[in-house]
Structures are given as C-alpha cells and as structure tokens.
Chains A and B, each alone.
Chain A
C-alpha cells in the first residue's frame, strides 16, 4: 500500500475536451471542458445518461482516444506528449476495468495468460515469482488457482469481471478507472463485485474513477459524485449531498427518476421537457436550456460554468435555489416528453 501527502491528487484532469468531426465541418462535443482530481483511497463517481460523455472521459484519460484539448496530469506530469511506448509505462500507474467482461477478455487466452501478460510486460519476475503473484491475485479477487487454467467462456459473468479487476490491479497501479463495471451483471452478483472493489481499494489505497449510470450503485460506492450532461459536469459534490440535496435541475430530474426497490415509495419526479438535445455544435448556452423547468432568459444566452455553492459542492446553474419549487406539483403526464 502506497502512502501520499494529504489531499494529494494523483491524477488531475483539466479542461478536457473531445470533439468528433461528424462531417460538413460540424463537430460532436463529446466532452466539453471537464475538470476533476482523483485522490488515493477515494472514489469519484461520474454519473450520466447515454450521450453524456462519461465513458469518453475515461478513454481520453488513458488515451485510447486522443483528447482534442485540455490536459491529464499524473503525478505532476502531463500524459499528452507521451508516445505510445512511454504511455505503455504510464499504464503501471493508470489502469482500467471495462464494462463488459465478455468482451474485454481475449477469448483465446486462459485466465493465466490474461493475468501473466501485464506482469511480463512491466515487471521482470522469474516464473516462480510470477506464479506466486498469480495465485495471490486470484485469491485477492475471490477466486481459486483452479480458475487459472480456464478460458473466459468457462467462467460466469461475475467471475469474468473478477478477472478483469485482477488484471487491472496485477501491476499495482495507483489509479483505476472503472467503466460501468457492474452494468452487465445480475443484481445478486453486482453487490459482490462492488464489495470486492471496495475491499481492494482499502487494501491498496487506490484512487477510483467510477463511471456509472446506476445511481443505486453510485450512492453505495462513491465519496464524491460528478453529474455529467452532454459533455459537461453540471454538478459535483459529496455523495450524500448530491443524493439528498441535488441542486441542478438535471441532477434532480435524474435522481427523481431512479427507481427504488421499496414498496410504497412514491417518487416526486422533476420532468424535463422533450428529449436530450444534440451534442453537435451546441450553442453557447446552458446545455439544459429548452428542457429546464426553471429556465430563465439568460440560460439560452451564455454557458453556465460550474460555480461553488459551498466548500465541496459546485453547481452549473445560477438558479439552483429555485430547483425545489419545480418539483412540487407534478407536471400532468400528457406533457411528459
């Protein structure tokens, strides 16, 4: 377990942008200026619906995608000028767990080969040391040595994701990006994987970026939550505050739509008008304008930056005081988009 100074950010993401050309000179703004830090032992959850750009953020950090602008700084050094070979060394620090454990494991490699590969590429170990490390790893993720000889298709979904996690932590990284790690798992397995991730984080003092659309899960694992909408972070703060007192209209709409498996819980939904607008060449306006129940004229005239409302909580909405009013009488269903 590595130790760090207090509040030390291992990864700093600054002004990250990713634009995809969509033809005709137009650009799809997948990520449009995103900033955050990742600290050891802490989990930042990136929450959003499809099209919010949350997975693109992770891919830009590890440079599976090249960011258009902005910077990713790891231990004070920018990763952007690194060539592929130097970037490969950066993956000793920066690792990722993918959403679909079926697709992220090479179907032709046994578990042993999957886990051996990073060890061989990054560490000079003897075969005995590697074997010892392999059995340590499978034990750490709750599997046995008998699983080493298996192929991915011989494992259950949960077991595959455990291997995905073991691969990510095999070379002792400091930061792990988790891209929807439980989205393709059954609920009963979901809890076990979350449990495992938390335990590993404690034992190895890892920094997590947890990308998810599952609010239940986020509430369970995150220390801090950043809510993304159309490529921007619209609200960020401690988990409890985001869930109990969401201040951005979008956050509130999202929270109020999440189903709860309890009998007799009636949601008071905040509804947004229409459908998500296009991320292609968005106008310089609040991204929610046109859908927002508390919209003001100024909202469609300028971008709304993320402003702190207290020490830890920031919102990209100057009218966040009024958001509670918007919920009160539910809008008639006929108007729901």
Chain B
C-alpha cells in the first residue's frame, strides 16, 4: 500500500532501519502482475480484433492442427481456437474480477460490522456465514446455478456469494483484534460515532490481509468458473468460456486432437498461477510482523 519513509533519527540507533525487502518478492510479483496484464490486454484486444470470427463455424477445416493461419488449431466445427480463447479471456477474467470485487465489498462491510459491534449482530451474521460455508464451494455454486439458472450475471452472483464468507471472517478477525486498540478508543474520544470508528479507522488498518486474500480468491474463482463451464451449467454451451472449450474438446483428446482442450487448459493454469503468485507476494508484503 503506501510506502512510508523510515524514521532515520530513532531507527538509526535502536535497530536496523525497517525497510521492506521488496526486492525479494519482486520476481513472483512481477511475473504474476505481468501475466495478468497480458490477459487483460488480450481481453481488451478481443473487443476490437480477433484473427477470425470466434463464433463462426467453418472458418477453417474441422479439427485443423495448429498452422500459421490457425495458430492454435480449430475445433470440430472449424472455429478458430485462438479467437475463441481470446474472447474467452473476457468471460473468465471479467466474471472473476466482478465476483471478487462484490465479495470483497460485501464481506468486508459485514465483517467489519460483526467484528466491531460483536454481540447479537455478530452472532446473527456469523450463523448465516456458517450455513453458507457448510457446503463445499463448488457444490454450493452448482446448486445455486441450477436453481437460479445460467447466465453471466448469475454466475457472478453465485461466485461472490461463495467467496464472501472468507472476506467476512477475515475482516471480522482483523477488526476484532484492533477494536480495543488505543487509536480506536482515541477515535471514539474525538467524537466519532462507532460506525465511523469501524470504517474510517479500523478498516483501513485491516485492508492488507484482505487485499492479499483477493488474489487467492480470484484464483479459486477462475477454477470454479471453468468447472461450471466444463460441467455445462454456468453459461450457455456456446459461450467461448475456457471450461466450456475444454469440455468441447474432450472427445478429441482420445483421438489425437489434443489442442482443442489443451490450450484453454493452459490459459486457466496461467491465470490461476498468476493470481497465486501475486497473492503470495502480497501476503508477504502485508505480513503483520512487518506492519509498523
């Protein structure tokens, strides 16, 4: 977050200056961030240009192996895989980011309220969360999607629902551990209402672990999106979502047309990997022991 200059005067004698050893993390950090930027770039590009029409069957021969014209080959219907993959980035990255943002916002707000007020409010919120979390994430997502139906908006809603409890718990724990801190008490004393203490003073000091967790959650979300797509219950089977694409290429794997499933798989692997690398670097950065 904010980089702070060090207190030279007092640090010089007491202890070595506590400078965050950023350099150590820079490689994973750069790799993760770079990869994500690449995906984002591809997603944006796909709105303006793709090599072929990603939705047009018969752009090339059926099951063409990678060639100069179709660098990643084509599928059974002869659609260009590279074009589909590029458009698919929009789905996977977009749904994931939207879901993470919603889960982070709602989870943080509810968690902060639960953590700061405690008592009956806390109990009510936590019981609710426990009910959600009693189901495994993917199973829960499948159940809801089956119930409310397919579609991008529904998938986003479901994913944020699945991710939200973790943010809530994290925010609650962070705020709780700081509720008795003197600066929170001091904030009350200058005339802040309790809600202002919670959101203006405690929450900004608790955001580090929450932000670090977004990456982990994002990686997990990508996997769920792809899993839903693979099972054919999230989006329409025609949407060029990566999980969908893998499912479409399943038959080919046995008969030698490996590329149809392989390239979407690599795309998923790359995106989850990028999020994990970023998350790893971020959680090191926000390590409580390094916070002043």
The verdict on B67 contacting chain A, using a C-beta distance below 8 Å, is no
Given contact pairs A117-B190, A117-B192, A151 touches B185 in the complex (Cβ within 8 A): no
Interface window among A104-112, A275-283, A285-293: A104-112
Q: How far is the CA of A118 from the CA of B7 in the complex (A)?
A: 26
A91 pairs with B189, CB closer than 8 A: yes
CB contacts under 8 Å to A, within B1-51, are 2, 4-7, 9-10
Give CA–CA (A117, B4) in the complex, Å: 22
Say whether A104 contacts B186, CB under 8 Å: yes
Q: Contact: A167 with B7, CB < 8 Å?
A: no
- A100 to chain B: which residues have CB within 8 Å? 182
Q: Is A103 within 8 A of B181, CB to CB?
A: yes
Kindly provide the distance from the CB of B4 to the nearest chain A CB, expressed in whole angstroms: 6
Q: With an 8 A cutoff between CB atoms, is A1 at the interface?
A: no
Partner of B189, one of A62, A89, A151: A62
A92 proximity list for chain B (CB < 8 A): 191
0/1 interface trace, chain B 173-215, chain A, CB 8 Å (1 if under): 0000000011101111111111000000100110000000000
Contact with B along A147-183 (1 / 0, CB 8 A): 0000101111100000010011011000000000000
Q: A79-113: which have CB < 8 Å to B?
A: 84-85, 88-89, 91-92, 95-96, 98-100, 103-108
* A118 touching B194, Cβ below 8 Å: no
Min C-beta distance of A153 to chain B, whole Å: 5
Closest chain A CB from B175 CB (angstroms): 14
Contact (Cβ within 8 A) B190 A106: no
Task: List the B side residues contacting A95 at CB < 8 Å.
Answer: 189
* Residue B292 CB within 8 A of the other chain: yes
Q: Answer whether residue A122 sits at the interface, using C-beta atoms and an 8 A cutoff.
A: yes
Given known A-B contacts A88-B192, A167-B190, A108 and B204 have beta carbons under 8 A apart: yes
A55 CB → nearest B CB, Å: 11
Q: Is the CB of B187 within 8 A of A108?
A: no
Chain A residues in 8 Å Cβ range of B191: 88-89, 91-92, 118, 121-122, 171
A265 near B: Cβ within 8 Å? Answer: no
Beyond A92-B191, A107-B205, A154-B7, whether A98 also contacts B185 by CB under 8 A is yes
In the bound assembly, the distance between CA atoms of A91 and B187 in angstroms comes to: 11
Residue on B nearest A88 in the bound complex, by CB: B191
Interface size on B, residues (CB 8 A): 25
B9: A residues at CB distance < 8 A: 156
Cβ–Cβ contact A121 & B181, under 8 A: no
Q: Give Cα A95–Cα B181 distance, bound, in whole angstroms.
A: 17
Distance (whole angstroms) from the CB of A204 to the closest CB of chain B: 17
B260 to chain A, nearest CB (A): 50
Cβ A103 vs Cβ B193 within 8 A:
no
Q: Which residues of A contact B187 (CB under 8 A)?
A: 106, 117
Residues of chain B lying within 8 A (CB to CB) of residue A171:
190-191
Chain A proximity of B281: nearest CB distance (Å) = 21
A64–B7 Cα distance when bound, in Å, is 32
Residue of A at shortest CB range from B2?
A108
CB distance from A93 to the nearest CB of B (A): 11
Q: Are B5 and A118 in contact (CB under 8 A)?
A: no
* Given A107-B205, A107-B292, A154-B4, A91-B190 contact (CB < 8 Å): yes
Chain B stretch 58-96: residues in CB contact (< 8 A) with chain A = none
| CB pair A104 B190 closer than 8 Å | no
Contact A108 B190 (CB under 8 A): no
Partner of B182, one of A84, A103, A156, A168: A103
> Which one, B7, B186, B194, B291, contacts A105 given CB within 8 A?
B186
Smallest CB gap from B190: residue in A: A118
B204 nearest CB neighbor, chain A only: A108
Q: How far is the CA of A244 from the CA of B135 in the complex (A)?
A: 71
In the complex where A151-B4, A153-B4, A155-B7 touch, is A105 in contact with B183 (Cβ < 8 A)?
A: yes
Residues of B within 8 A of A (CB): 2, 4-7, 9-10, 181-183, 185-194, 201, 204-205, 291-292
Q: State the 5 A-B residue pairs at the shortest beta-carbon distance, nearest first.
A: A104-B182, A118-B190, A121-B191, A103-B182, A88-B191
A-B contact pairs, 6 of them (CB 8 A): A62-B189, A64-B189, A98-B185, A122-B191, A164-B186, A167-B190
* Given A62-B189, A88-B191: 20 more A-B contacts, CB < 8 Å: A84-B194, A85-B193, A88-B192, A89-B191, A91-B188, A91-B190, A95-B189, A98-B182, A98-B185, A103-B181, A103-B182, A104-B185, A106-B204, A106-B205, A107-B292, A121-B191, A156-B10, A168-B189, A170-B190, A171-B191
